[in-house]
Structure 1
Amino acid sequence: MRYNPAMPKIDIQLPVVALRDYSVHVDSGLLGRLGKLVRQIAPAPVCALITDSVVAELYGQQARDSLEQAGFKVTMFVFPAGESSKTTRTVEAAYDVLLTARPERRSPVVALGGGVVGDLAGFVAATLLRGVPFVQVPTTLLAAVDASVGGKVGVDHAHGKNMIGAFHHPCAVLMDVLTLGTLPKIELQCGLAECVKHAIIRDAGLFDFIGANLPAILAGNSDVLAELVAWNVRIKSAIVMADPYEQGERAVLNLGHTFGHALETLAGYKGLKHGQAVGLGTMAASTMARNRGILEETSHKKIEALLRRIGLLEAPPAVDITAVMALMDGDKKVRDGRLRLILPTAIGAAEIICDARPDEIAAALEAIASPLNRGEGR
């Protein structure tokens, strides 16, 4: 049939339901019930368990046993722990292992571990067979309060952190707070960076709670940690529900992350953990807000004091300000060629700005790299 320009045009609108409800369970001893809980969510014969080399030693066998007892044929993929493994090469290796088990589109991927595991396993789940169910089982404070909720999954690239990824929401998040009690102090400190971020952008009460309970949190008190996790999940989930694909207000969750991601990338994802980078980035954002006059000096000093008490203001070995700024210019949150930054306006409020000047960004970076932020000269 030849094309006839007079033929009527057809315009069909297809409704797309892109999101589904999912539950976040916070309790003690959930790992022992993992298989039963996953079976209720995804009744498939095959299940993939993805974790890293450190978590596999601690909880891998317990998780596998629970899944097998629930009737799953488990295919386990373990990769070397650390941000440097969060690459497309690791994802391809996971495909090779998982596809040999002949999974179905209802076969769940269970992510057992911290933020790196959740990001990578979630990306595998988002792309395997064009998308399979995904269950987050966070074992670090950072993953519990931030990475496991929100649906952002992905891997790093030479051009920056999380440059390759997708939005793929989990079917459930199962948080066993007993796993937090075995974490080294540095992992609790890194998780607190995200907790402080949530407090600064939304909830002054959470900010005060962290300050008042910091010794118990760093000591691994399970009751306090359970309350901390639940509080943070409520804050983040409310923001995500209002803007699931980060088209607007959800961007406030990136407080400290534009600075932080650039610092991580420049460090080659070695020697500077994500939480440490976010802590430094949050301090840079607070400094910039104070310098602009949109954040009171007293609030800025409170933010600095809490970050310092947690131990998050240890500067990286070197900060090449020019290189960091170049990486920030290529940040994935750039819109219409303009860098978007999140700046606090009070403890409990923040705003998105698109008019940052190079000189004020440089001044904020100089502040986090100064001897003062290494505890010298005070």
Structure 2
Amino acid sequence: MSTENALKPIIVPIDLGDRAYDIEIAPDVLDRLGGILTEKFPGARFGVVTDLNVEKNQWARLQKSLEAHGLNYALISIPPGENAKSMARLDSVVFALLKEKLERNDIVLAFGGGVIGDLAGFAAAIMRRGMDFVQIPTSLLAQVDSSVGGKTGVNSPHGKNLIGAFHQPRFVAADLGVLETLSERHFRAGYAEVVKYGLIDDEEFFFWLEENQPEIFAGGPARAEAIARACRAKARVVVADEREMGQRALLNLGHTFGHALESATGYSDRLIHGEGVAIGMALAHRFSTKLGLSNAQDDARVVAHLKKAGLPTNLSDIPGDLPPTADLLDLIAQDKKVSRGALTFILTKGIGKAFIEKNVNPDQVFEFLNEERQK
């Protein structure tokens, strides 16, 4: 793939009938977004929901594009961080949008990482019984995962993403240029979600990532290709199972453990989402081996790749103390995949061979976590 081709816009369609939309991946889509929005939503006003970090680093580009096309907008900027995904912050965002007198036919722009996308998308879902919104993801994690597929919501003290709605965006603008301002830690965390797509059902993609990870991190043409391949993988699953009634749950590989660990660390800077997913994927592979489903060789290969990318893979990699194992198990039991109290995990039979396992024995999970705590 040449550099010239990498710079051309890549369009990934999400074919959901009358709710279909496109993901556009390009280094300059943010600069062209004013024109795209003018064409897609003539006469609309825009409520731009972002956080203070994105406002500082990226708002000037979007503002210039909106104003170049004479678009009417209101900027709503909130503090950054996972703690913004709360009912209190949701209330403040909805209040601000209503105060700006945005109407049902106007558009909410979710301009930020996964937290902003989930929060602003949920606000759009409940505003005036449903407003359209556009995802403008500014992190690698958001570009390959949270901005695509229509999951929106906020966290609860009982667990992550337990309050929300399925609400598809009308367009996703994945600008490659914004990734240059990401911290190394947040880029690495986003990469965990890229790896996930290889581990679910595409071992060739995982092998490709093993070969191309340095160029992806360096910002070469492989970065655009990795994002596009991840988006296509998610698009395929979302179209087949939009509301996670079956196979879409595979996208949660690593998330059952990861979400519990995020909750256990108070959704704090101790463990950001992609790091929780990385540890969760390592745990899912090791737990699968303990159950006799997978093999230690594949486990080692997965862990080696995650470590090469600078990602954590053990509970001991999390700074500070974790709650007792019984409390971790309680958090796992709050996972959205739990059905009538039975634990459901995404396990694996090897690289690219993930599957949904229902009725997992809690005693086995408890024993496994106790063993992992000793590493």
In the other structure, the counterpart of 1:208 is 207
Offset at residue 18 of structure 1 (A): 8.3
Which of 323, 333, 345 lines up with 1:341 in the alignment?
A: 345
* Partner residue, 1:353: 357
**Alpha-carbon shift at residue 135 of structure 1 (Å):** 0.6
After superposing the two structures, state which structure 1 stretch, 348-357 or 24-33, moved more: 348-357
Q: Does 1:318 align with 2:321?
A: yes
1:121 maps to which residue? 120
Please say if residues 215 and 221 of structure 2, whose CA atoms lie closer than 8 Å, have aligned partners that are also in contact.
Answer: no
The normalised TM-score by structure 1 is 0.90
Q: Which amino acid aligns with 2:70?
A: G
SS at match of 1:165: strand
Q: How far has the Cα of 1:129 moved from its partner? A: 1.0
Offset, 1:99: 1.2
Alignment of 1:274 with 2:273, yes or no, is yes
Instruction: Say if 1:370 and 1:180 are closer, same or farther in 2 by CA, change over 3 A.
Output: farther
For residues 129-188 of structure 1, give each alpha carbon's deviation from its aligned partner in whole angstroms, at most 9, with x where no partner exists: 111111111111100110011100001111111111000011011111111122221111
Report the equivalent of 1:75: 74
State the match for 2:257 in structure 1.
259
3-state SS in 2 of match to 1:340: strand
Return the TM-score normalized by structure 2. Answer: 0.91
Pick closer, same or farther for the CA change 1:351–1:318 going to 2, 3 Å: same
Q: Does residue 217 of the first structure (1) align with residue 221 of the second (2)? A: no
Q: CA deviation at 1:311?
A: 2.1
**Alpha-carbon distance in structure 2 between the residues aligned to 1:291 and 1:106:** 53
> For residues 107 and 359 of structure 2, what CA distance do their matches in structure 1 show?
43
Measured after TM superposition, the shift of residue 84 of structure 1 is 0.8
**Which structure 1 residue ranges, 5 or more long, are not aligned?**
1-16, 372-378
Q: Is the 8 A contact 1:285 1:364 kept in 2?
A: no
1:233 to 231, 234, 255: 231
- Correspondence list, 1:1-378, <5 A: 20-219=19-218, 221-270=219-268, 271-313=270-312, 315-316=317-318, 317-320=320-323, 321-366=325-370, 368-371=372-375
Query: C-alpha offsets along residues 115-134 of structure 1, whole Å, 9 cap, x if unaligned?
Result: 10100010011111111111
Equivalent residue of 2:19, what SS? coil
Which amino acid is the alignment partner of residue 242 of structure 2?
P
TM-superposed CA distance for 1:313, in Å, is 2.0
Q: What amino acid is aligned across from residue 191 of structure 2 in structure 1? A: L
Q: Alpha carbons of 1:194 and 1:367: their partners in 2 closer, same or farther (altered >3 Å)?
A: farther
Distance 1:75 1:191 in 2: 29
User: 2 CA distance for matches of 1:222 and 1:179?
Assistant: 14
| 4+ runs deviating over 4 angstroms | none
CA distance in 1, matches of 2:44, 2:234: 33
Q: How many residues align?
A: 354
Are the counterparts in 2 of residues 115 and 142 from structure 1 also a CA contact under 8 Å?
yes
1:35, 1:70 within 8 Å by CA — same for their partners in 2?
Answer: yes
Within 2, Cα distance between the matches of 1:170 and 1:368?
A: 39
Letter in 1 for 2:277: V
Distance 2:329 2:293 in 1: 22
Give distance in 1, aligned partners of 2:373 and 2:184.
23
Query: In terms of Rg, which structure is larger?
Result: 1
* Counterpart secondary structure, 1:312: coil
Is contact 2:265–2:322 with CA below 8 Å preserved after alignment?
no
SS at match of 2:266: coil
Matching residue of 2:13: none
Instruction: Tell me if the contact between 2:144 and 2:230 (Cα under 8 Å) persists in the aligned partners.
Output: yes
The residue matched to 1:58 in structure 2 has which SS?
helix
What percentage of residue pairs aligned between the two structures are identical? 38
Task: Verify the 8 A CA contact 2:44 2:105 in the aligned structure 1.
Answer: no
Distance 2:367 2:216 in 1: 33
- Give the 3-state SS of the residue equivalent to 1:72 in structure 2: coil
Residues 73 and 205 of structure 1: CA distance in aligned 2, closer, same or farther (over 3 Å): same
Residue 365 of structure 1 and its aligned partner are, at CA, apart by 2.6
SS of the equivalent of 2:106 reads coil
Q: How big is the shift at 1:364?
A: 3.6
8 Å CA contact 1:46, 1:101 repeated in 2: no
What is the deviation of 1:222? Answer: 4.2
Moved more, 352-361 or 138-147: 352-361
- Aligned in 2, Cα 1:71/1:51: closer, same or farther, shift over 3 Å? same
Q: Is the 8 A contact 1:276 1:312 kept in 2?
A: yes
1:5-48 Cα shifts (integer Å, max 9, x gaps): xxxxxxxxxxxx98611001001111111111122222233111
